[in-house]
Structure 1
């Protein structure tokens, strides 16, 4: 059996009207044994259906905020930059990935997207809307490979079986997060302030999303590399 092919959702620069990609997404897949391909940004339904059927799995990348209209809220001033093209393509593709039961790995925006599309809601801005007595910072300065806070993983849950640790120190670069968890997802990791940091869809082959950024840290952190390894293995 050959190495699995994995479609990677493109990043988008609105000012330059250009697609772009962080090498860690691609190299993480490649180092774990997969063959990554950067996808086109398209809203063509027929093309998206062909893409959904063409690849063995999909990596949903970080980036823009999720449009609050997707989870039934008005856009507030604290919401960040949106990308309608990404919302349209990723929403359509994710629904087909679920129907086909193909593996999907979400990172940062990917976690927020999965939750919103499956009926959950988001904090449009954590500092403004999520009250906590903790001093955790969820949006760090470079270098992004450096871990800044812990996440806690209950022993025996699906994520624990993958990375085999109950306490993982992670990097963090996000200002949105899960407010109400989708009933189709389970929380498998939380920060010490209670914010959900990882989710899985238990009845599917492999639907996993994390709020942190393993694409920056997998080379120096065996636990984060295991996320890529398990994803590629499932593909």
Structure 2
């Protein structure tokens, strides 16, 4: 049986004007049975459509902050670097993927991007905009493969169907998070300080995103491995769809 081809959105170094990639994104897909392919950032809308039509699954990676203009806010001083090239391409691609009902897996920025593109908003900086006695430190300083806090999984959710448990430990490497959740998304898990840490879109083959980073510990954490496995499994369904002839 053919393996699903997974489009992986690139990480981007503005200073060097270069694409780069963490091996965990690629190896997580490979070990789950898929073939990962790193995309280029293009503004050609026909090419973006061709990518959507010809790949079986789509991994939206971490990286720069989503431009606050996309959710109706000005860029505050505590918003970090943005990447307009990523915002543009990923926005168009995501909506094509939804229309084609193909799997989309978001990690960190990917979760935030899904929420914004579907009408939600973000905390531009959690520490600055969401202070409180019980506030967690969401940007860990220990090794990235180490879990540092709990997330509590919604019992009657797609996320629970994947994990088969109500509490898991995760790593944490973000300074932004979901403020107002998009109406079409459902929370799958929340942190100890009640920040939404996982979302999914009901009625779709697989539209799911997490705030933590399974690419750093999929090889030692069964919960992270499950996410890649379920994503690739869902992408295999796209192999049964007759793909239109299109340039890529």
Question: Which TM-score applies when normalising by structure 2?
Answer: 0.93
Partner of 1:137: 137
Contact kept, 8 Å, 2:103 with 2:205, in 1: the verdict is yes
Cα distance in 2 for residues equivalent to 1:132 and 1:93: 37
Larger RCO of the pair (alpha carbons < 8 Å, separation 6+): 2
Cross-structure match for 2:239: none
Secondary structure of the 2:91 match is helix
State the Cα distance separating 1:165 from its structure 2 match: 1.3
The C-alpha deviation readout for 1:60-104, integer Å capped at 9, x for no partner, is 000000000111111111100000100000001001001111000
Residues 15-164 of structure 1: matches in 2 within 5 Å? Answer: 15-164=15-164
User: RMSD between aligned alpha carbons?
Assistant: 0.8
In structure 2, the residue corresponding to 1:75 is in which secondary structure? Answer: coil
The answer for the alignment partner of 1:9 in structure 2 is 9
How far apart are 1:25 and its partner, in Å?
A: 0.2
Moved over 2 A (4+): none
Q: Retained in 2: the 8 A contact 1:199–1:208?
A: yes
Tell me the secondary structure at the aligned position of residue 179 of structure 1.
Answer: strand
Rounded to whole Å, the distance in 2 between the matches of 1:12 and 1:59 is 15
Paired residue for 1:208? 208
Q: What residue ranges of structure 2 are gaps of 5+ in the alignment?
A: 236-248
Deviation for aligned residue 1:53: 0.6
Asked whether the equivalents of residues 154 and 187 of structure 2 are also in contact (C-alpha less than 8 Å), the reply is no
Q: Secondary structure at the match of 1:231?
A: helix
Shift, 1:135, TM fit: 4.3
The 8 Å contact of residues 170 and 212 in structure 2, kept in 1 or not, is answered as: yes
Q: Shift of the alpha carbon at 1:156?
A: 2.9
- Residue 151 of structure 2 aligns to a residue whose secondary structure is strand
Distance between the aligned counterparts of 1:15 and 1:65, measured in 2? 16
- Counterpart position of 1:169: 169
- Aligned pairs, number: 235
Query: Residue 115 of structure 1 aligns to a residue in which SS?
Result: helix
Q: Kindly state the Cα deviation for residue 142 of structure 1 after the two structures are TM-superposed.
A: 3.9
Kept in 2, the 8 Å contact 1:133–1:193? The answer is no
SS at match of 2:180: coil
